[in-house]
C-alpha cells in the first residue's frame, strides 16, 4: 500500500472534510526476532483469511464516527523488514478512531492471520 496515495484518494471524496478529523495507520512489518524466544527469524510465512478481514472491517465501520477503514494484509513468505499488514482508519475524533484501530488490529491478528516463523 502506498499510504500517501491512499490518503490523497480519501481526501478527494466530497464529504471527507466534513467527516474526518483523524487518520490512524498501522504498518506491520516482519521483525527479525521471534516474539516467543527472541531467536533470529529468517522467513515469516503468513496465511490471511481475506473474507474474515472484510467481515471485521464491515463490523468496525459501524462504530460511531468512523468514515472509512482500509486494510491490506499479505499472505506468503516474507523477510525481516517486509510490510505485512496495513490498516488505515479515518474518522471524526480520536476518541472514536483510536479504539477502532486497536480493536480491529487485535482481532485481525487473532482471527484472520496465521503465521509460521522460520528461525536460523
pLDDT digits (tens, 9 = 90+) for 33-83: 999 899 999 999 999 999 999 999 999 999 999 999 999 999 999 999 999
Say if residues 30 and 44 touch (Cβ distance below 8 Å).
Answer: yes
Contacts of 52 (CB under 8 A, 6+ apart): 111, 112
Is the domain covering 3-119 a CATH 3.90.1170.40 domain? yes
Task: List pLDDT tens digits, range 71-112.
Answer: 999 999 999 999 999 999 999 999 999 999 999 999 999 999
What are the angstrom distances between the C-alpha of 68 and each of 10, 15, 50, 102, 112?
9, 12, 17, 15, 20
pLDDT for res 120: 86
pLDDT band at residue 14, thresholds of 50, 70 and 90? Answer: very high
Q: Can you list the alpha helix ranges (DSSP code H) found in 1-93?
A: 3-11, 16-19, 50-61
Domain residue extents for the chain? 3-119
Amino acid at each position: 500500500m502506498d499510504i500517501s496515495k491512499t490518503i490523497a484518494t480519501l481526501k478527494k471524496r466530497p464529504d471527507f472534510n466534513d467527516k474526518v478529523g483523524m487518520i490512524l495507520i498501522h504498518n506491520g512489518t516482519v521483525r527479525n526476532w521471534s516474539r516467543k524466544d527472541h531467536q533470529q527469524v529468517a522467513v515469516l510465512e503468513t496465511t490471511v483469511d481475506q473474507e474474515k478481514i472484510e467481515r471485521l472491517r464491515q463490523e468496525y465501520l459501524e462504530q460511531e464516527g468512523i468514515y472509512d477503514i482500509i486494510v491490506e494484509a499479505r499472505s506468503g513468505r516474507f523477510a525481516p523488514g517486509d510490510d505485512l499488514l496495513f490498516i488505515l482508519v479515518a474518522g471524526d475524533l480520536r476518541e472514536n478512531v483510536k479504539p477502532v484501530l486497536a480493536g480491529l488490529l487485535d482481532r485481525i491478528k487473532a482471527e484472520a492471520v496465521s503465521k509460521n516463523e522460520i528461525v536460523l
